[in-house]
Chain A
Amino acid sequence: MTRNDRLTAILLVLAGVLMIVAVVLVFGVAPDPVNLQSPVERFSQRIFYFHVPTWWVGFLAFIVAAGAGVLYLVTSHERWDVISLSSVEIGVVFTTMGLITGSIWAKPTWNTWWTWDPRLTTAAIGWLMYIGYLMLRGAIDNPQRRARFAAVFAIIAFLSVPLNFMAIRWWRTIHPVVIGSGSADAQGGFSLGPTIRLVFFFSLFAFTVLFFALMALRTRTEWLAREVEHLKQRIIFR
């Protein structure tokens, strides 16, 4: 076991423990929000503790991918390509979960699985963009070129995020904005009491640690896969 492997193992165990504690806190400790009337709304509100952190992790993953993309273009070091790829893959998984958990919450609260609300629309478009990133990688054989094009695309795709945010502010949205000031038209919004806030930030922290644990694992797998590829080539061309 190398030092890196030990670090990965520690991160994984930590992430697992934190996630379990988060689940206990969410279902055992967090109180019902005071302003939600129906039991269905009160119950489904708890998905908030998972839904928001999954989007946060997706967002974080795409920032990391764009940053790694810039660093790759500057240094041409393979490490940044591995980080960029791993980060986008994790980001796509988490944003997929974000879309699904959002739908599950929307059904009882808005009485529909999906609506073409701007925030939902832009989230779906962002998700599609990173599916495009993975397809782009799949369509290029030359590893250096793949890394370069992926880096360029990751940077451009990430710049859609600020435009995303502008769109939320300008359009009338029914998606609740719990952190910061929200739209008056939002349905299913609620105010954060101190305990809810604590549980929420704990859950956010647990998900963030989970992200880094998955990153450590995924980058390790990617390095091993590249090593195998390299060894294969050596055997073929010996």
Chain B
Amino acid sequence: MRYVRKVIAIVAKDVAAELRTREMLSSMFVFSLIVILIFNFAFDLRAENQKTLAPGVLWVAIAFAGMLGLSRSFIMEKDRGSLEGLLLTPVDRSAIYLGKMLGNVLFITVVEIMILPIFMVLFNLPADVLPPLFGVMILGTIGFAGVGTLFSAIAVHTRAREVLLPILLFPVVIPVLLAAVKLTAAILDGVPFAEVRNWFSLLVAFDLIFLALSFILFDYVLEE
């Protein structure tokens, strides 16, 4: 229980810091909106059926916005010198990982909740796709932020910093994005769940494997 309280304390710290400025959430939201708009009119010129592109557009927007949030996640700690403070607190390194990871999942989810209505309006989608779509979004976000938090901690200690993060992260999370796009497409097309069950399993398996792995490896990243 005490471990859980420590994790929650770290999440609460990130939430409190974010609520004071709201700079990360607002920039992630506006950026994802721009991505969706750009895709919308870029594809509008050529594509026959815009709806077939919707899942890809949604996930590219989420991935790009999430990348912004992830790269800020540890740069914020490092630049204000609070990373040393965090390391000095009597908590396990894994608790720091879980706290930062949950914070990132939370922020990306908030952005998703904000862009989803706009996305549905632009692509003219029915409202009943919302619940399963949201489930896929949460699973995809956990996989993305799970490795992303670990890589964010790695990238912040390099010379290139935020430039390096997408180069490291995108190739690794491609299975997550693929599975999420496939599942989103299935939901929008009304394909029965049984037909895309293996993609669902892949997404869950990726989440579990990479969360566990990042949880273990995080110790070595912050070993100073």
Contacts and interface: CB of A to CB of B under 8 A. Distances in A.
B217 interface: yes
B150 A152 contact: yes
Given A139-B160, A148-B220, A128 B171 contact: yes
Given A128-B171, A155-B217, A163-B175, A139 B198 contact: no
5 contacts: A132-B168, A136-B164, A139-B158, A149-B154, A166-B202
Nearest to A166: B202
Contacts of B150: 152, 156
Given A132-B167, A135-B167, A163-B202, A148 B221 contact: yes
B206 interface: yes
A109 to B, nearest CB: 26
A167 B174 CA distance: 11
B171 A160 contact: yes
A73 interface: yes
Contacts of A156: 147, 150, 172, 210, 213-214, 217
B175 A160 contact: yes
B209 interface: yes
A125 B174 CA distance: 8
A65 to B, nearest CB: 15
Contacts of B175: 160, 163, 167
Given A125-B171, A156-B147, A166-B202, A140 B217 contact: no
Interface residues of A, number: 26
A151 interface: yes
Interface in B182-224: 198-199, 202, 206, 209-210, 213-214, 217, 220-221, 223
A14 B209 CA distance: 41
A163 B147 CA distance: 15
A136 B151 CA distance: 11
Interface string B143-167: 0000100100010011110001001
B167 A153 contact: no
A145 interface: yes
B174 A140 contact: no
Interface string B35-66: 00000000000000000000000000000000
A156 B212 CA distance: 11
Interface string A111-149: 000000000000001101100100110011100010011
A135 to B, nearest CB: 6
A148 B223 contact: yes
Interface string A149-181: 101110111011001001100100000000000
B164 A152 contact: no
A94 B220 CA distance: 30
Given A140-B157, A145-B157, A156-B147, 9 more contacts: A136-B154, A139-B160, A148-B220, A151-B220, A153-B154, A156-B150, A156-B172, A159-B210, A160-B172
Nearest to A145: B157
A166 B200 CA distance: 13
B45 to A, nearest CB: 21
B171 A132 contact: yes
Contact of B159 (A132, A139, A153, A167): A139
